[in-house]
Structure 1
Amino acid sequence: MATQDVLPQLYQQLNICTGTDDYLRSRRIAEQIMKADPTQWDAFYTKLVCFVHESNFEAVIRNIASHNFGDKSKELAFIHAYTLYRLNRHQDALNTLSKNENGIRELELRAQILYKMERYEDSVTVYQHKLSQLEDIDSDRLVNQLAALSLCPTPQECSITPDILDTYEQLYNYSSVLIAVGDAPQALDYLEKAESTAVNEMTQDPDYSQEELEDEMSVIRVQKAFASQLVGQTKEASKIYTQLIKKRISDHSVSAIASNNVISINKDKDIFDSRKRMKACTSEAALKKMTSQQRSIVHFNKCLLAINTNQLEQARSYLQHLRKIEKNGNELVPLLELSIQRRNEGLGDSKGSLLDLLSRHKDSPSIALTLAQIALNTHQLELCCEIICSTTPICYKPSFVSFVVTAYLRLGEFDKIDEVLTTAINYWLSRKDTESKSIEHLKKFVCHSANFKLQRNCYREAGEILEKFEEYFQDDRVYSQLLISSFAAIDITKAEKVLSSLDQKEIKKVNVDELEKVQNLRQVISKKTPLLDKISKKDDKPDRSIKSKRKSKKKKGKLPKNYNPDKPPDPERWLPMRERSYNKKLRKKGGRKVYARSPHQSTQSDKPEPKPMSANQKKKQQQKSKKKGKRW
């Protein structure tokens, strides 16, 4: 039969198969058409689509590479990039999209690829500046935009109004954005709405099973517990975490996040429970589904737990692994190194160790303040001030300047106090046009500096600094008082001039007699109450005929040895150990019964504390089964 006679029949069969979503048969018919005529573009494109639906992405790559249809090959850019995206070849997929013109679906795929590459800010840029111009509001696009926004390294304000959020995925991701910007109380409200919306949506849809409902609810609940933990409701958070762990959810990442956050609540208590939870956090299935930030938090807590249990060799190996996976460099990693060093060798009064660590991490205020606290705890007050003064710009803030001045007063270093105040004045003077509170801080430090000079009888220097900054003090009585005090010792004429410029308060209509009576208020006048004189002595004596009843004291109930009030009680505590669900059964080894041994008791922990982890995973719309008659 001639080719021209075969092709219409094959295309007719192909049209029928694509209408029934029979992708295997459709692909075979498309291959027959390609065999009869290799130049048939429609058959080739249908063949690629069938491979995608069969998840045979390698075959798509091979066919695109082996066929050339000229200008029409540009139309394969999207399917080629999507295939590379599904094969986790994200950079290749991004390069493929960059070579061709981008429509709506190409931009959405680009945003998804950037999200998978953890370039969240770039993904948000695509959504906000390119896809936001579209008139229609796509539900999936809104979910993905909120997910990218919640994971940005620097928290960003959300331009999306919460009134348009109507699905539980949108409400969930919006709550994650609120947590990222530090508004955990409001995030709890939206998580409540997301939970109720999810129950309503899934119970009304017959395509959802009970297991799918539990999986979706577990993601919302673990985020709800995390928000509760942020607002200080640790008991409620611990209760939710424990319930989720005992349910043994199919999503390993949810169990891992709950276990990690239980460790952060335990801190240096209940080390045995923390070690058990850490195994769930570091399972291979859980780590695969985490972001790099979540994996970093898990390994950080793993290293900290090893330090708290005095397993210093393991802690060093965990620390090396943590440095490898840290892309941007976590400023808390050097604190782990410092904790290991203190446990192993002890810093004591080692000034060189602290300054050496400070020189290697000059740009980290948290490390500098930690070292300053260590110096303060070891009674090295001068070293503490030296560390604070070398940490800019926090050393110019009023609280730190106040601490350093107080410390130098105690040490008798008056010249250094003058230097600290002068440096602070110059700093805030240089920022008077950029920061809102710079003038307020400047005036405060000028007054303190002048007052300090007056106390040291440096009247001329106090007057000079006050005259220099006169323009910032308009109608300030404290400033005028200091100026008069300084001029009174060196130039009485100037002092009288400043005094005459002050607005004198009117003292008319003042009753002098009333003012003189004010001092009488300080005298305590004791008078006997007339009622006490009428009470007879007989009434003061108790009647012996009435026997006072002895109150029986209730004994406090004894609590279990390892009782923890922050954790909910075990519901199976009344059952024998062998009947409890979590009891390990006896194992047979060599024909005899062997019991599992418990690990040794651990020691107390040292700071830094474990970090909790947010469950701000990207939630997608549940994809329902394809209906008949629909194409890809």
Structure 2
Amino acid sequence: MSSDLPSLLKRTRITDHEEILRAANAALKQKKNDLDAQHAKVVALLKLDRFEDAVHAFDTAEGGGLKQKARLEYAYALYKTGKAEEAAGVAREGGEERGYRHVEAQAAYRTEDFPRAKELYTQLASPDDNDNDDDDDAEADLRINTGAVDAQLEWTYRGDLVTKKKPEREDLEAFETAYNAACASIAQGELAQGEVLLKRAKGLCEGMEELSAEEKKGEVGPILAMWGFVLLRLGRGEEARGVMGEIEGGVGGLGLVGRVNRMVAEGGEGNPFLASRVLGRNRDDTVRSGEAKQDQPFEFQAKVLRQNQYALELQSAKFEGLVRSTKVVLAGQTSSTLDPEYNVLSVVNAAAHAKARSGKEALKYILPELEKRPYDVGLVLTIAQLYVLTGNSSTAITMLEKFLSRLEQAGSVKEMDVRFAPGLVGAMVSLYQSAGRRGHARAELAEAAQYWQRKGKESSGKLPGGVVNLFKAAGSSLLESEEKEHQELAAGIFTDLHQRDEKDRYAAAGLLAASPQTATNTQTQSLQSIDRLVASIDVDELEHAGIAQPTTTTSTSLKRPAPADSKPIKAKKPRKSRLPKDYDPNKQPDPERWLPLRDRSTYRPKGKKGKARREALSQGAVMAQGSGNEDSRPATPGAEVLKGKSVGGGGGGKKKKGKR
């Protein structure tokens, strides 16, 4: 057989990939380092879906040049065998060719780097892409993949990167795009719209004639799993159990989701010990299964499964085991973090220490843990919530203020990002507002907004999710202040928001309210005109209904006018003056007029007894001779002077004679 495989393939009409593989192997027996034969072999293996064999062929190829020559095929083989990170790295080294970007985008999706996948698919869909072709199938695949990335961005709280928020007509033409649009709607909280789109996707899938019954069952499975989730969220548990019963017996990640949602639908009726065992066994089987490598849950889904496991262990009263298992992870984190999984683990650890107690009794067991982990966000928020539930919001405010102060004193960039995280700032502001401390809430929002403005300038405008909403809350609060500094800061915030999104009406309205003199028509063109806003308002009808009429005085009455047929109300007579008859407005009133007569400085007792009492009441006075007992101490002010009587009661003033 000729060793020149390309010449051989040109002279023949081989369309079967098995025949191409046999020809390539025959050529390699004669010359092991034949690069063209090696390339033909790996392509044939990929066409036959023998991805593990293709990777093995790349690793064992003689000469070492195959991975360089067939870099795209190597990246694709790595991706199909579950080595997504390696595939993304190989594709990234390939350059800007369209094929490499496709593989890198798929690998980024599998590694949950959804922002990178979104960036790549945006480039591939750009009309300026020189390599963009007019293949309808390629365009449809690109639309499907883009919709899947958008849905995952919504689920992972990165919806700010999604440009298309509402499903379009083209999304209803195929069951894949309808399913992706449904997932995005559900992630946004639009459950009713999501259910409608899921029904549409299920109908389109079942109506495809080119799919076999088994293929339809595999495609409908994820749709049913999501539908069951929506029904649970809508409180229609009986319907949810019926839908999820169709996929509960499945294998891999889909079957696991069905079993978990089935247990959730049962609520507290199930056995937590049995549920914990079933969940743990099926999760481990899914991870170990070689056939389910592409069917494993994403990491953010796996976190939810782990949280379910913790909840079941708490219900099973496995407190000591939870304390030990969570302590190992928590001990490795010495600084503050916003990682949701770590903070949830911290809450689970606190619940295990409290042994499912609540209120003041739980605080006795949880507060000592704060001394061990003073920078733990989840633990601090748990304690603050317990204080609020016990009606002690002031202590919750003080504790959270001390925590934020500790983060500021740490001074590192990471700690400061946690200090001004939108969630923590929102919790602090909510506590301030509940206590009526609006000034403190405004100061907290202003400080956070200033920090993220500086951070945005340093990081070229890239900000984490939630900061835009924080800017809006800060700007709205600062507009209520009368201080010039706050007004200027509000104007700066809304200007920044308008520059980020010129179509944002909230930012345009805030900019107009903060600086009406400097706001331009370009900045406020997204706002509706006043004439259009009031076009449907009937002024005469509003006036007839009792709208307050302006008056000539500075104040406007808020009362409705009296009916025309009502009787006039008689004016009340003015109250007579209660001033004394000898009142002189030019004379200074006595400042001691409110004191009792005997307590005034001008009071002088009359008579012999009064004089003696006056002398006794004087501070440092000495009793005159003959006025009483000379050895007695001055009388206490306010006490009566008694002569000839014993204070203690009993007999008279003279001592009776008797035996000694």
How high is the TM-score relative to the length of structure 2?
0.56
Partner of 1:604: none
Partner of 1:163: 169
Distance 1:208 1:517, change over 3 A: farther
Aligned residues of 1:278 and 1:302 also touching (Cα < 8 A): yes
Match of 1:218 among 218, 221, 229: 221
Partner of 1:523: none
Structure 2: stretches of 5+ with no match in the other structure = 405-423, 454-469, 484-512, 517-550, 571-660
Partner of 1:140: 141
SS at match of 1:401: helix
Structure 1 letter corresponding to 2:263: I
| Aligned equivalents of 2:21, 2:145: Cα separation in 1 | 32
Distance 1:349 1:51, change over 3 A: closer
| Aligned equivalents of 1:349, 1:312: Cα separation in 2 | 14
Q: Report deviation, 1:212.
A: 3.0
Distance 1:40 1:236, change over 3 A: same
Distance 1:513 1:428, change over 3 A: farther
Q: How does 1:432-443 map to 2 (within 5 A)?
A: 435-436=471-472, 438=474, 441=477
Q: Report deviation, 1:258.
A: 1.9
Of structures 1 and 2, the one with the larger relative CO (CA 8 A, separation 6+) is 1
| Aligned equivalents of 1:235, 1:322: Cα separation in 2 | 39
Structure 2 letter corresponding to 1:19: T
| Aligned equivalents of 2:558, 2:387: Cα separation in 1 | 55
Q: How does 1:42-191 map to 2 (within 5 A)?
A: 42-52=36-46, 53=48, 54-55=50-51, 56-62=53-59, 64=61, 66-68=63-65, 74-133=68-127, 134=132, 136=134, 138-152=139-153, 153-156=156-159, 157-159=162-164, 162-165=168-171, 166-191=173-198
| Aligned equivalents of 2:12, 2:230: Cα separation in 1 | 53
| Aligned equivalents of 2:438, 2:175: Cα separation in 1 | 55
Partner of 1:334: 346
Q: How many residues align?
A: 440
Distance 1:384 1:445, change over 3 A: farther
Distance 1:385 1:213, change over 3 A: same
Distance 1:168 1:9, change over 3 A: closer
Q: How does 1:150-549 map to 2 (within 5 A)?
A: 150-152=151-153, 153-156=156-159, 157-159=162-164, 162-165=168-171, 166-201=173-208, 204-205=209-210, 208-209=212-213, 211-245=214-248, 248-249=249-250, 251-271=251-271, 274-275=275-276, 277-278=278-279, 281-285=282-286, 289-316=296-323, 319=326, 329-343=341-355, 348=361, 350=363, 353-354=366-367, 356-357=369-370, 360=373, 364=377, 368-378=380-390, 380=392, 382-387=394-399, 392-394=424-426, 397=429, 400-405=431-436, 420-427=437-444, 435-436=471-472, 438=474, 441=477, 502-503=554-555, 514=566
| Aligned equivalents of 1:400, 1:327: Cα separation in 2 | 23
Query: Percent same amino acid at aligned positions?
Result: 13
Q: Deviations over 1:427-464 (max 9, x none)?
A: 456669984455654577889xxxxxxxxxxxxxxxxx
| Aligned equivalents of 2:268, 2:72: Cα separation in 1 | 52
SS at match of 2:189: coil
Q: Report deviation, 1:241.
A: 2.4
Q: How does 1:28-43 map to 2 (within 5 A)?
A: 28-34=22-28, 42-43=36-37
Structure number, greater radius of gyration = 2
Partner of 1:594: none
Distance 1:500 1:372, change over 3 A: farther
| Aligned CA-pair RMSD | 4.5
Q: Report deviation, 1:183.
A: 2.0
Distance 1:189 1:243, change over 3 A: same
Structure 1 letter corresponding to 2:431: F
| Aligned equivalents of 2:15, 2:301: Cα separation in 1 | 44
More deviation, 147-156/432-441: 432-441
Q: Deviations over 1:350-408 (max 9, x none)?
A: 468438539947684x75454233224456554234346567522564x5334324xxx
Structure 2 letter corresponding to 1:394: G
Partner of 2:526: none
| Aligned equivalents of 1:48, 1:170: Cα separation in 2 | 32
Q: Report deviation, 1:310.
A: 0.9
SS at match of 2:435: helix
Structure 2 letter corresponding to 1:295: A
Aligned residues of 2:343 and 2:376 also touching (Cα < 8 A): no
Q: Deviations over 1:560-605 (max 9, x none)?
A: xxxxxxxxxxxxxxxxxxxxxxxxxxxxxxxxxxxxxxxxxxxxxx
| Aligned equivalents of 1:378, 1:149: Cα separation in 2 | 42
How high is the TM-score relative to the length of structure 1?
0.59
| Aligned equivalents of 1:383, 1:261: Cα separation in 2 | 39
| Aligned equivalents of 1:305, 1:426: Cα separation in 2 | 42
Distance 1:379 1:173, change over 3 A: closer
Aligned residues of 1:401 and 1:421 also touching (Cα < 8 A): yes
SS at match of 1:393: helix
Aligned residues of 2:314 and 2:356 also touching (Cα < 8 A): no
Aligned residues of 2:71 and 2:91 also touching (Cα < 8 A): yes
Distance 1:322 1:132, change over 3 A: farther
Q: Report deviation, 1:158.
A: 4.5
More deviation, 300-309/154-163: 154-163
Q: Report deviation, 1:425.
A: 4.3
SS at match of 2:70: helix
| Aligned equivalents of 2:31, 2:282: Cα separation in 1 | 55
| Aligned equivalents of 1:341, 1:124: Cα separation in 2 | 43
Aligned residues of 2:354 and 2:362 also touching (Cα < 8 A): no
SS at match of 1:88: coil
Q: Deviations over 1:482-533 (max 9, x none)?
A: xxxxxxxxxxxxxxxxx99715569999679826689xxxxxxxxxxxxxxx
Match of 2:14 among 9, 14, 18: 18
Distance 1:514 1:342, change over 3 A: same
